[in-house]
Structure 1
Amino acid sequence: MPSSPSRRGFIAAGSGLAAATALSGCSALASADSGPDTLIVHTQLGTTAPGSATYTAAVKAFHEENPGLRVKNLVNGDDLPQVYETSRLARKEPDVVMVNLYDKTLAWTEVGATVDVKGYLDDWGLRERVLPEALDEWTDGKGRLRAFPYFATNWPVAYNTALLDRAGVGSVPTTGDQLIGAARRLRAKGIQPVTVGGNDWTGQKLLAQIVQTFLTREEARQVYTDGDFSGSRGAREGIDYFVSLRDAGVFADKAQGLTSDTMTTQYNTQKAAVQSAMSSALAKVPAKTAAHTTVGGWPLAPGAAHDRPTILRSYTLIGFWISPNGVKKLPAVEKFLRFMYRPDVVSRFVTESGRDMALVTDTVSGDFPLVAEAQRLGDRVGQVLLPDLYVPPTATQPLITATSTAFTRGTSAATVRSALESAYRTA
């Protein structure tokens, strides 16, 4: 695990967030003075995020079953971590935070911005509700459980078989050579091959997946912890493989400037034949496109460290974090989390929103066929490491900048390695 910033470092970083407070944090600061029967929940569910409508309905049901308690939601998007940190610095933070384990949030429990919830999980009898893999990912290097796990995600590769057929590609590619051949045929028909947000986190994740082609999970963990992409033979070979695919035209035109929104639009409107798509994106694929989509893994090169095409999988998409203010309202927090962990509530997120869960459930996403198909991939695919838990938080955004460099056609493998390593030196 990367070393976490000190408490002083957290406070110093937060001092630069005054603008965020003025724009979007005022409600958070004001609301934290509420009484013990009002639970303040800071969440990303309430925007367009999949699961928002189900969450709103669940809160309504919670109110009906607990007339003496009220949940007040504060909603933010990608800026939630900054807004929360600002409110925490003023000691007026919300009681519960619903956000993923990534970038800034990696340090929260270490610096006291949130509390270790392992004891509460056990005291409230909820441990058996959580998948063991999720507990592992949410537990830090000192044995602290950062949050109550909730959402997970599969991250396979979606292939539009109708477009592949139109281009004369007989089957879903499983090797790099097959992928290059498919890209040439697709381009000849005016179809973009692999669409990817090369200018944001989606491209960062796909690049990391391809870099790991020749790395074991342990080797990948080391590389993404220390950022030494040149000192690892496997990392060098993975970057060489990425560059060979890129310069053969596998990725969509000008991929280095595309975003996740562009990527999903190109795939959903059948302008591109392939995308690396987490389950929340799979849930949004229109029925017309989904009818011609199959999901699988990323094609491998000869000599790969894996024997099957690979996917990403993570159990850290959203968890329930308890703040120091939340500790003062533990009875209310316990009732809320027990409710959210109930099998019937968990099942609603699966059936109504197509969410993958970090909790034990037998419910299948019947109305979201691609999500369900991804859940059934099993041993037909291999799994590589999602590096988010190991990348130092200060390197996260520089790595996205480096990703855009990597997706720029003609950029040498040596330049890609240098850009990735510079992200860590900047950190």
Structure 2
Amino acid sequence: MHSRLSRRGFLAAGSGLAATAALPAVTGCALTSTDSDPDTLVVHTQLGTTAPGSPTYLAVLDRFREENPGLKVKNLINGDDLAQVYETSRLARKEPDVVMVNLYDKTLAWTDVGATVDVKEYLDDWGLRGRVLPDALKAWTDKKGRLQAFPYFATNWPVAYNTALLERAGVDSLPTTGDALIGAARKLRAKGISPVTVGGNDWTGQKLLAQIIQTFLRPGEAEHLYTTGDFSGSRGAREGIDYFVSLRDAGVFADKAQGLTSDSMTTQYNTEKAAIQSSMSSGLAKVPAEVARHTEVGGWPLAPGAAHDRPTILRTFTLIGLWISPNGVKKLDAVRKFVRFLYRDDVVSRFITESGRDMALHSTSTSKDFPLVAAAQRLGDSVSQAVVPDVYVPPVANQPLITATSTAFTRGTSAAKVRAVLETAYRSA
């Protein structure tokens, strides 16, 4: 697996790159000489604007400042371009001390090329191992045994069903099989209701496609598939793609799904234009109360002969971690205070109760004000868990896979063509 962020790239570009070269204009992203001040902790995060959990994060950050009056905190905020901005600052050796971002795409290579450090010894030295869920520790540990970041946010990713719309169309139970889903889609369309809305032109469609392809794959087989991209050589993958195509051409997905995004998907579901969506817990937290009251969460329906015995959901513990940079190691005492603060029971509880976030840490708190998030947490053994492909897909194949996903959601595209475009995305890597 290769990343566009390579050790060679660092060595070639590191000496001559200006500190702020190519940095987008974002909140707090000007790099100054105060960033090297041992009494100033620089945190780079996606939290702080409209990202779910941002109000809670800003509130707990204020609390941290109050409890540590001698320590200044500079908060740098980026959206989807955070990884690129961080890499640019790292090339100039002016990177922030702590980075809050997920394990995906570019970040998969960070620890391996020295852009961030192994935090395993800090987890133990700071007495935090017992705070982390075992599955989260496993997810954040690479093949060399390095803990790439302190696990923090997790997410459940079930399927949301608007039972009021289903009942209006004459569907009296949640579909658990492909045939039942196709039947429900026909009844919904007859009432002018879109069946399954999905962002077929972005990451939401990519994840749902990956989930459906896994219908006939065991977890180990799915991991191998998304590492190699051998969609034609895997019998289970071929069957999964055939299943996806049969659902698509039967009208299960929203019209022109290949052009929809996560925003349009969310809008369609939340305004009750569509009856079904695959939604991660941060999206479930945004479902309006009047819609949530007649929404049930479950899994994705299965085909006969599936490798799973229950409808599937996605679940991941790598949504946000606390990464430490080489500059952060120089301010280790400040970093320790920050990480230990965020790991406190009361702080973790605030993210759960105020923002409806799933956490990678132990907590007895529940998302009472976010009923769909809480319901997803209770699904337990009623669903089976499919593999989230993020940590297996080669980083440079991620964006080509989005393009391939759009092609896959285009009605009439053959299963052979879907396999071909998916494999082409890997060959571009």
Measured against the shorter chain, the TM-score band is over 0.9
Partners of 2:283 and 2:357 in 1: CA distance: 10
TM-score w.r.t. length of structure 1:
0.97
- Mark the CA change 1:201 to 1:13 in structure 2 (over 3 Å): closer, same or farther: farther
What does residue 118 of structure 2 align with? 116
> Amino acid of the residue matched to residue 241 of structure 1?
Y
What does residue 366 of structure 2 align with? 364
2:98 touches 2:325 (CA, 8 Å); kept in 1? Answer: yes
What does residue 93 of structure 1 align with? 95
2:29 touches 2:76 (CA, 8 Å); kept in 1? Answer: yes
Q: 1:42-121 to 2 correspondence within 5 Å?
A: 42-121=44-123
Partners of 1:13 and 1:36 in 2: CA distance: 26
Partners of 1:49 and 1:306 in 2: CA distance: 33
1:158 touches 1:294 (CA, 8 Å); kept in 2? Answer: yes
TM-score w.r.t. length of structure 2:
0.96
**Structure 1, residues 289-309: CA drift from partner, whole Å, max 9, x if none?**
000100000000000000000
What does residue 212 of structure 2 align with? 210
What does residue 37 of structure 2 align with? 35
1:159 touches 1:273 (CA, 8 Å); kept in 2? Answer: yes
2:159 touches 2:299 (CA, 8 Å); kept in 1? Answer: yes
2:20 touches 2:31 (CA, 8 Å); kept in 1? Answer: no
Partners of 1:173 and 1:16 in 2: CA distance: 56
Partners of 2:33 and 2:185 in 1: CA distance: 53
**Structure 1, residues 247-275: CA drift from partner, whole Å, max 9, x if none?**
00000000000000000000000000000
Task: Say if 2:410 is the partner of 1:414.
Answer: no
Give 1:194 deviation, angstroms: 0.2
Task: Say if 2:7 is the partner of 1:7.
Answer: yes
Per the alignment, in what secondary structure is the counterpart of residue 32 of structure 2? helix
Partners of 1:408 and 1:369 in 2: CA distance: 34
Give 1:23 deviation, angstroms: 3.9
Q: 1:241-256 to 2 correspondence within 5 Å?
A: 241-256=243-258
1:29 touches 1:90 (CA, 8 Å); kept in 2? Answer: no
1:232 to 231, 234, 237: 234
Partners of 1:327 and 1:45 in 2: CA distance: 22
What does residue 318 of structure 1 align with? 320
2:19 touches 2:94 (CA, 8 Å); kept in 1? Answer: no
What does residue 158 of structure 1 align with? 160
What does residue 170 of structure 2 align with? 168
1:366 touches 1:372 (CA, 8 Å); kept in 2? Answer: yes
**Structure 1, residues 230-287: CA drift from partner, whole Å, max 9, x if none?**
0000000000000000000000000000000000000000000000000000000000
Give 1:424 deviation, angstroms: 0.4
Give 1:406 deviation, angstroms: 0.2
* Structure 2: segments with no counterpart, 5+ residues: none
Give 1:25 deviation, angstroms: 9.5
2:18 touches 2:92 (CA, 8 Å); kept in 1? Answer: no
Task: Say if 2:279 is the partner of 1:285.
Answer: no
Q: How big is the alpha-carbon RMSD for the aligned residues of Structure 1 and Structure 2? A: 1.7
What does residue 183 of structure 1 align with? 185
Give 1:32 deviation, angstroms: 6.3
Partners of 1:110 and 1:117 in 2: CA distance: 13
What does residue 355 of structure 1 align with? 357
Per the alignment, in what secondary structure is the counterpart of residue 21 of structure 1? coil
Partners of 1:151 and 1:40 in 2: CA distance: 20
Q: 1:326-341 to 2 correspondence within 5 Å?
A: 326-341=328-343
Give 1:313 deviation, angstroms: 0.1
Equivalent residue pairs, number: 426
Partners of 2:380 and 2:177 in 1: CA distance: 19
> Amino acid of the residue matched to residue 243 of structure 1?
V
Give 1:377 deviation, angstroms: 0.2
Give 1:27 deviation, angstroms: 2.9
Give 1:170 deviation, angstroms: 1.0
> Amino acid of the residue matched to residue 169 of structure 2?
A
> Amino acid of the residue matched to residue 389 of structure 1?
V
1:100 touches 1:317 (CA, 8 Å); kept in 2? Answer: yes
What does residue 296 of structure 1 align with? 298
Give 1:395 deviation, angstroms: 0.3
* Structure 1: segments with no counterpart, 5+ residues: none
**Structure 1, residues 332-388: CA drift from partner, whole Å, max 9, x if none?**
000111110000000000000000000001110000000000000000000000010
2:35 touches 2:42 (CA, 8 Å); kept in 1? Answer: no
Partners of 1:10 and 1:21 in 2: CA distance: 17
Partners of 1:394 and 1:16 in 2: CA distance: 25
> Amino acid of the residue matched to residue 61 of structure 1?
R
What does residue 382 of structure 2 align with? 380
Partners of 1:258 and 1:361 in 2: CA distance: 36
Per the alignment, in what secondary structure is the counterpart of residue 27 of structure 1? coil
Partners of 2:213 and 2:258 in 1: CA distance: 17
1:31 touches 1:40 (CA, 8 Å); kept in 2? Answer: no
- Mark the CA change 1:32 to 1:198 in structure 2 (over 3 Å): closer, same or farther: farther
- Mark the CA change 1:269 to 1:19 in structure 2 (over 3 Å): closer, same or farther: farther
